[in-house]
Amino acid sequence: MSALAYHFIGGVLKHVKPLLALTAASINSYKRLVPCHWASAYSCYGIENREGAIRVPMQFIKREMESTNLEMKFVDGTSNPYLAVGSVLAAGMDGIEKKIEPPEPCQANPYELSEGEKKKMGIERYPETFKDAIDELDKDDFFRKVWEKLLIDEYIKTKRFAWESYFQQVTEWERRRYLEAF
């Protein structure tokens, strides 16, 4: 891959935690972003690695440069496509402008690495709930500059309301599991 592609990856990985609130934009998204389900749960990338945030699919022999692409595993259909694509591009462009070097590609399943190995490789677990992702976005200034403070602040309010509404519900599973136990 080109230096441009590596710096793009570096920028996306730098911003992936707050980026999740914009690209995996529903409560259900986080039921998909779990280890060992080929959906990605870690801030890493690798060639053909389905468990990392960015998967670099195999290239065609003798056509490597033309066939290189990046699969963003942390984006799903619940996001606003304009916010999702624009945010990924902004994060990648930040990496290009600042020449952010990504860590070495991860060729293993990050879940199977020890905590020490993950730390050494700069691999972190994503926020595990939508609330955690919203909190990451709320702490972040980068996307407030990209999209303007008002848009991000209103987005966060709307998504917090969705989380609070969800969290106040007692599900059928909870009724079955706990009603008779207590």
Mean pLDDT, residues 108-124 taken together: 94
CATH classification (class only), 3-178: alpha beta
Report the alpha-carbon angle 123-38-88, nearest 5: 60
Closest C-alpha to 103, from 36, 10, 4 = 10
pLDDT value of position 62: 72
Q: State the pLDDT confidence band at 1, using cuts at 50, 70 and 90.
A: confident
Q: What is the mean pLDDT of residues 58-78?
A: 80
Domain ranges across the chain: 3-178
pLDDT at position 65 is 66
**DSSP code per residue over 40-96:** --EEEEEET-TTEEEEEPPPPTT-HHHH---EETT--TTS-HHHHHHHHHHHHHHHH
The model's pLDDT over 16-55, given as tens digits with 9 standing for 90+, comes to 999 999 999 999 999 999 999 888 999 999 988 889 999 9
Other CB atoms closer than 10 Å to residue 77's CB: what's the count? Answer: 10
Of all residues in the chain, the percent with pLDDT exceeding 90 is 78
